[in-house]
Structure 1
C-alpha cells in the first residue's frame, strides 16, 4: 500500500516535470529610446508599469508559455536597428528616418521589418528644430548662410535641415557646412560656443533652450512636413507571434491612456527614468502639447516615411527601393484598437491636439471655462500635482505676480504661439503687446509679421510681464 502511494506520487512528479520540460519559452526583446521622449508610450512607460505583462496571451498556443521579456535602451535608432537585424531584438521604436533605414537594412540582409504603429508626432513637423548658442546674434535660419550647422546624420532632424536649406534656395554643399554631431556632443558644443547652430530631434531642440544654453531659431513646422516616432517589428517574429505584437499594441494604448489622464504624474515618471526634465516632457505630452500622441497611420505619416526613404536615397544612405505600403503593416494596431473597444477609423480622422484630462479646462485665475486655446498659457507651480491653465498670457502673468509674492516657486511657464498654436516656453518667447492684449510667438520674425497685419509692439518676456 505504501509502495503504491509512493509510485503514484512519483508518477505525478514525472508528469509535472515532463510538462515543465515541454513548456515553451518565448523571447520578447524590445529596443527603446528612453531619452527620445516621443517613444515613451512604446518604451519606458510600458517597461516601468509592466503593461506588456498585462496583455501577453496565456491561452491557446500560448498556454503554459514562459515569456522572457528583455529591454534594451538606445540613444538613437541606428544601433537599435543593428541589433534587430542581428536577431537580438524583436521590436524597436524610432523616428521616420531611422525607421526607413531599418527597413532598408533588413531588406539588404534578405529579411523584412514592418512599421506597426505611430507613437507620437506632428502632421505639420513640430518637434524637430534648429538651435543656436544662447548669446548668438542669429535670429533666423537666413542668418546662418556660410556657417556650420551640426546634426545627427541620417536622423529625422537631418531631413528637416535639408528641407530648410532647400527652402532658402541654398546649396547645401556650398552655402553652409553640415557636420555630424550627436545631441550629447552638441549640448556642450553649444554651451562653449563651438558650433554656429545645431539641428536635432525630440526633445533636444526644446531641452537645450530649457536648460539655458541655446535658443530655438527654426521650428520643424516652418518646413510643414510631418514627422513621427513609431514602432517596428521583425516581420518573421510578427508572423510567428501576431498575438504578442498585438499585446505590445495594447500596452501602448494603455500607456497613452494613462498619460492623457495624468500627464504631470507620468512626465515625472519618464523624467526619473531618462534624465530629461519633466517640464520638457510635459511640453510634448501634456494637453495641447507640441506633438500629439497618436497610434494611427494618418496619410501625413505615411508620406513622411516615403519622404524619409527618398531623402536617404539622395544622401546615398540607402540604395534600394522600399515600398512604403508593404513596409507599413497596420493589422496589429487595428486588432488592438478593436480589442480595446476603440474606433481606429475615427482616430484616423482625428487631428485634434491632446485634450485636457478634464472635460473642459478652467482659467485658474478667473474660474471661467477656456473656450479658445489659441492664447492658452500654463503655469506649473512647485509642489502642485496639476499644471494651472489660463485663457491668455495676460491672465497668467497677473496670477504669476501673486504666486511669486506669496512665496510660491514656479517650475515653468508655457505659452502658445499665436501664429500656429504650438506650445512654447514662455520665457523664450517674443511678445506682441497691442493695447491690453498680449500674444506670444516662438520666433521674432513671426512676431514681426504679426505686427504688420495687426499692429502692436514687439517685446521680450520681461517686458511682456511688465505690460500687465
Structure 2
C-alpha cells in the first residue's frame, strides 16, 4: 500500500529521531545506471553526471549530517543489462523506456523484490521517438510496403512494441506476414548499409540518427501509431524506502538538468555529442523547441497507460508471466516532493502537454514568428544558436544566397505540414504551389496527396533547396 507524501515525511522524521544518536559516519551508495546514447534519458543521467548536479542536492542534515556518499555511474546501451544489475543489487537507480521498465518491475518481482517507476524523463503521447527506417536506396516508402519483408528490431524494446502495433494496424499476422528478427542498433546500422535487412525498427535516437548519417530513410514514425511512449527513471523500492530524501535529491537534480536544457538546448546538445558521439543536430532534433519528444517529468495518464500496455504486450510476447500492477509500480510521491522542494507546481506541469515552445524572431524580417506550423531552422557550424525562419521557402532562399559562402551548415530542420513532426530537411518530401510556397512532409504519400489537393508538385530536398550539401555565409 502506498503512503501519502506527508506520511513519508513523518516516517523520515521518526527515523531521524531514532538515529540521532548514531555516532559513526555512514557511507551511502548512490549507484545510477544510465543510457547515454538513448539521448532522451539525458536529464536523468548524462547531464546530472557531467554537470555534477547531484552534489547540489544530496542531503547533509538530520540523519545525513555525517553521511558520506559513494556516487557511482554506469552506462548501458539498453535496458535489459541495466535491469540485471539492479536486480543483483549493484545499482539503485536506472533509466529506461516503458517496455524494458516493465521488464525491470517484473524481474524485481520474480526475485522477491520491488522496483518503482519514479518519473518520466522524456516521451511522446503519440509515439514519436520510435520509428522504422529502410536502406537509402530502398524502393520501400511506407509501412504498407513491408509485407513479406525482413524487419529487425531490438526485442522487448519500446520500438518492438511500436512495430507490433503498426503491423496489427495493417491487419497482418506478425508471425507469417513479415519476418521479424532481433538486432541491436549497433548491428542494424551495418546491416542497413549492406542491404542485409529490408527495414529496421528502433528507439531514440536511432530512427533519426541513421537517416542523419545517410545510411537510412525513415518511412514510419511512431506518432503514426498514436501509442504513447516514454523513457523514465526507476529505483529499487527498498532503497527508496530507506533513503527517500536521496530519491528526491536525484529528482531535483533531474529537474535542474531539464531546466538547463530548456534554456540552452544547442549548448547541451553539443555536450551530449561530446559524451556520446550522437551528433548535436540529432540531439537538438529531440531536445530543442518543437522537438520530436517532450521532456516531461510528470505522470500523465497517457504515460501510465503506456506502462500498462507494455506489461500486457510483454505477456503477449511471453517475455514475462508476472502479474505486475501498474498502479503500484508507478510511484509519483517522490517527483511531487521534488517539484515542491524546487518551488514548482506539479499539477500545473501535469496539465501542460505543450512541447518546448519556439520563441524566436524570423531571421529574414526580424519579426516574432507567430505561426510555427511550417517553421524552418538552420544551424550554422560557427554559430551558438539556431536561426529561425517562418517557412521553408525563406530558409532555402537563405541557403541559396549563402552558396558562395565558406561556412558550412550543421543542419536544416523543417516541420511536417500535417502533424508538426520536426524533420531533417534532407529527409523530407516537399510540395511547392504555384505561388512558390513550400511545405514539408515526412512521407512521400502524404506529400502526393497534398499536391493533388492544391495542384502542386512533389520534390525532394535537392530540388527545392538547389543544393545537396548546403552552406550559408555568416552574415
In the other structure, the counterpart of 2:403 is 404
SS of corresponding position for 1:110:
coil
* Structure 2 match to 1:214: 216
Deviations 1:294-332 (A, max 9, x none): 000001101111111100000000102211110000011
Q: Which residue of 1 aligns with 2:258?
A: 256
Q: Give me the whole-angstrom Cα distance separating, in 2, the residues matched to 1:199 and 1:253.
A: 31
- For 1:256 and 1:85, the matched residues in 2 are separated by 28
In structure 1, the partner of 2:191 is 189
Shift of 1:402: 2.0
Does the 8 Å contact 2:59/2:245 carry over to 1?
yes
Partner of 1:287, secondary structure, is: coil
Gaps spanning 5+ residues in structure 1: where?
1-18
Q: Which residue of 2 aligns with 1:422?
A: 421
Distance (whole Å) between structure 2 residues aligned to residue 321 and residue 364 of structure 1: 55
Aligned equivalents of 2:71 and 2:23: distance in 1?
19
Distance 1:455 1:353, change over 3 A: farther
Any conservation in 1 of the 2:35–2:75 contact (CA below 8 Å)?
A: yes
Distance 1:449 1:125 in 2: 23
**Distance (whole Å) between structure 1 residues aligned to residue 292 and residue 356 of structure 2:** 9
Deviates more, 1:176-185 or 1:320-329: 320-329
Secondary structure, counterpart of 1:448 in structure 2: helix
Does residue 389 (structure 1) correspond to residue 388 (structure 2)? The answer is yes
- Residue by residue over 1:193-248, the C-alpha shift from the partner in whole angstroms, topping out at 9 and shown as x without a partner, is 11110000000000001000100011101101111000000000001000000000
**1:368 offset after TM fit, Å?**
1.5
Give the alignment of 1:129-208 within 5 angstroms: 129-208=131-210
Corresponding residue for residue 6 of structure 1: none
Range with bigger deviation, 396-405 or 323-332: 396-405
Query: What does residue 339 of structure 2 align with?
Result: 337
Alpha-carbon distance between aligned partners in 2 of 1:61 and 1:363, rounded to the nearest angstrom: 54
Identify which range, 393-402 or 106-115, moves more after superposition: 393-402
The structure that has the greater radius of gyration is: 1
Counting only pairs closer than 5 Å after superposition, residues 231-246 of structure 1 correspond to structure 2 as 231-246=233-248
Q: Compute the displacement of 1:439 (Å).
A: 0.4
TM-score normalised per structure 1: 0.94
CA distance in structure 1 between the partners assigned to 2:452 and 2:308 by the alignment: 38
What do the CA deviations read for 1:339-364 (whole angstroms, capped 9, x no partner)?
111111011111111124xxx31111
Give CA deviations for 1:108-155 in whole Å, capped at 9, x if unaligned.
111100000000011111110000000111011111111100000000
Corresponding residue for residue 413 of structure 1: 412
| Corresponding residue number in structure 1 for 2:76 | 74
- Whether the aligned pair in 1 keeps the contact of 2:151 and 2:199 (CA below 8 Å) is yes
CA deviations over 1:41-91 (Å, ceiling 9, x no partner): 001100000000111000000001000000000000000000000000000
- 1:20 shift after superposition: 11
Structure 2's unaligned 5+ residue stretches are: 1-20, 468-475
Q: Which residue, out of 98, 104, 108, partners 1:102?
A: 104
SS for the counterpart of 1:120 is strand
Match for residue 16 of structure 1?
A: none
In the aligned structure 1, how far is the partner of 2:403 from the partner of 2:23?
Answer: 66
**Cα offset for 1:460?**
0.7
Of 306-315 and 400-409, more deviation after overlay is shown by 400-409
2:124 aligned residue = 122
2:375 corresponds to: 376
Distance 2:280 2:179 in 1: 34
Q: Alpha-carbon deviations, 1:90-119, whole Å to 9, x = none?
A: 000000000000001111111100000000
Distance 1:334 1:455, change over 3 A: farther
Partner of 1:346: 348
Measured after TM superposition, the shift of residue 445 of structure 1 is: 1.3
- Residue 22 of structure 1 aligns to a residue whose secondary structure is coil
**In the alignment, is residue 446 of structure 1 matched against residue 451 of structure 2?**
no
How far did 1:21 drift?
A: 7.9
Give the drift of 1:371. 0.4
Structure 2 Cα separation of the partners of residues 176 and 100 of structure 1: 26
Q: For 1:41-52, list aligned pairs within 5 A.
A: 41-52=43-54
SS at match of 2:394: helix
